[in-house]
Structure 1
Amino acid sequence: MEAFLQREGQEVYVNVECSASLSMLAGRGEGRANRTLFPPDFIQTIDHTVEILENSNKQSRWTLEVSLPLDLLGLVKPGEDLRNVQLKGNFYCCADKHAVPHFLAVSEIGTLKPDFHSPSYFSPIRFA
């Protein structure tokens, strides 16, 4: 599962990748190349839980809950009212190494091959 988040009007975006094994990576930059990874010590402070619903030879199903520190990721200013923040992003599930490769996205991406690092296809995210 991977989340891509970008503040409206900025070129830099953040991507956070989580797996069912609780592995997590996060980076920021203006594109697929030249990304700066957040250090492992920081990643370990991000609250996240995984619940395995099914893990068999036929299927693997799991859920993920993650609380992203938007201020520490550089997406909002500390104490900023989220109702006044305009972010955009997309959320993906990638199973490229699966017996039947598949890719899912919340917002459609219009590229010939799955390219999740495509800010032009990010959709608005609003906080209530």
Structure 2
Amino acid sequence: MKNLRVPRIQGASNLNNQDLREHLLAEGAQGELLHQPWDAFRRPEGEVAVRFSLAYDLGSIFALYRIREPELRAVHRELMAPVYEDSCVELFISDPENKRYVNLEFNAVGACLGGIGAGRGDRAWLPLSYLEKLKIWSSYQEGLAHGIGFLGTWELMVRIPLAASGLLGGVRDLAGLCLQGNLYKCGDKLRLPHYLAWREIDLPSPDFHQNRFFGPIEFMR
């Protein structure tokens, strides 16, 4: 897929988790993480699979990830913990000029890490007050509350108030914007680490902080 055309779902912020999930599956922009950029970490086709759905309303992005993998790691439970060591899905998205980008990373229990800046070596952590505004639902976390463990698949859904992140200046509505971004799956400390991406990354070793490989994400009016 060369670009994403993200539709608006009116009133998405007011939907409960079940209804929001259904709307994202029925109306959202759909995609898959088909690229495994690094041969040393390549898993057999179909062993790890990630589908995603994206939509927006006003200044917020809504993302649903559906993951299949043979192993789940969910050690970290706090905000700003190194969740990329666990079973982790990520969204990186830049301003229209692709000069700065936000990275948001989530493990299977909804712990989150986030930063903003021009590159790996030029970043600031997003404040906890911002991360606390994210609304995150995890099927695995919900299952644990009912005594159900990992069964080979999990889902994560998140509401991201992007306009409040400081990335877009005074923009309050994403309608009509064409940003740049990439979506990822990783797990640095899994027994068999893997790295999946929506857009291909042409580098010799794993590094998701490469906005030159981002692809267009257009927010439809």
The alignment's TM-score, normalised by the length of structure 1, stands at: 0.86
1:48 aligns with 2:136: yes
Whether 1:30 and 2:118 are equivalent positions in the alignment is yes
Q: CA deviation at 1:10?
A: 4.0
- Structure number with larger C-alpha Rg: 2
**Structure 1 residues 78, 7: closer, same or farther in 2, change over 3 A?**
closer
Which protein is richer in strand relative to its size?
A: 1
1:118 is matched with which residue: 207, 210, 220?
210
* Counterpart code for 1:45: K
Please state whether the residue corresponding to 2:181 is helix, strand or coil.
Answer: strand
Alpha-carbon distance in structure 1 between the residues aligned to 2:171 and 2:95: 14
Higher helix share: 2
2:177 paired residue number = 85
The match for 1:73 among 165, 169, 180 is: 165
Give % identity.
35
Is the Cα–Cα contact under 8 Å of residues 90 and 183 in structure 2 kept in the other structure? yes
Q: Identify which of 73, 87, 91 aligns with 1:3.
A: 91
What is the CA distance between 1:3 and its match in structure 2? 0.8
What is the root-mean-square deviation of aligned Cα atoms in Å? 1.8
2:194: which partner in 1? Answer: 102
Residue deviations 1:50-104 (CA, integer Å, cap 9, x gap): 1127616xx5x32111111111112443433x33211110011112211111110
Whichever residue aligns with residue 123 of structure 1, its letter is G
Higher relative contact order (CA 8 A, sep 6+): 2
CA distance in structure 2 between the aligned counterparts of 1:38 and 1:75, rounded to whole angstroms: 11
Amino acid at match of 1:22: G
**Gap change, CA 1:10 and 1:121, over 3 Å in 2:** closer
Give the number of equivalent residue pairs: 124
Q: Report the Cα distance in structure 2 between the residues aligned to 1:79 and 1:38, rounded to whole angstroms.
A: 18
Q: Is the 8 A contact 2:108 2:138 kept in 1?
A: yes
